[in-house]
Structure 1
Amino acid sequence: MGFDVRDIVLDATRGHVGRITTINGDCLVITRPGHPPWDALTSWCTPATLAECHDFEFQERQAAAA
């Protein structure tokens, strides 16, 4: 499955939704508001559902407003 920078994904190994900031081969760097970035393999990730995307974008807006 191909991902693009800025895609919102679910890292199944951590159970967290985040936004891809960097792609290096099969390794993704993912961030989420208020937490340090982490590395995840593409095979661990799936596209976030529409509901997960909306929740994540809401968290991003709240963090930006703080």
Structure 2
Amino acid sequence: MRFVEQEVVLDTTRGHIGRITTINGDCLVITNPGHAPWDALTSWCMPATPAERQELEHQEQGAAA
């Protein structure tokens, strides 16, 4: 699967939703306001559902406030 920076994904190994900040080959750096940034392989990730994207956006808005 091909991902782009700023895309919201679900890391299936951790069960966390996050936003891709950096792509380095098959490795993604993902951020989420509730967690420290982490690395995940593209094979571990899948696009977030609309509900998951909305959940992350609410978390990001809360962290910005």
Global fold match (TM > 0.5): yes
Gaps of 5+ in 1: none
Letter in 1 for 2:61: R
Whole-Å Cα distance in 1 between the matches of residues 11 and 31 of structure 2? Answer: 11
Q: How many residues end up aligned between the 2 structures?
A: 65
Whole-Å Cα distance in 1 between the matches of residues 20 and 35 of structure 2? Answer: 14
- Post-superposition Cα deviations, 1:19-55, rounded to whole Å, max 9, x if no partner, equal 0000000000000003210000000000000000001
**1:2 corresponds to:** 2
Whole-Å Cα distance in 1 between the matches of residues 56 and 29 of structure 2? Answer: 16
Matched, 1:50 2:50: yes
Aligned structure 1 segments of 4 or more residues deviating by more than 4 angstroms: none
Gaps of 5+ in 2: none
Whole-Å Cα distance in 2 between the matches of residues 37 and 48 of structure 1? Answer: 17
- Among the aligned pairs, what percent are the same residue? 71
* TM score, norm. by length of structure 1: 0.96
**Matched ranges for 1:1-66 at <5 A:** 1-65=1-65
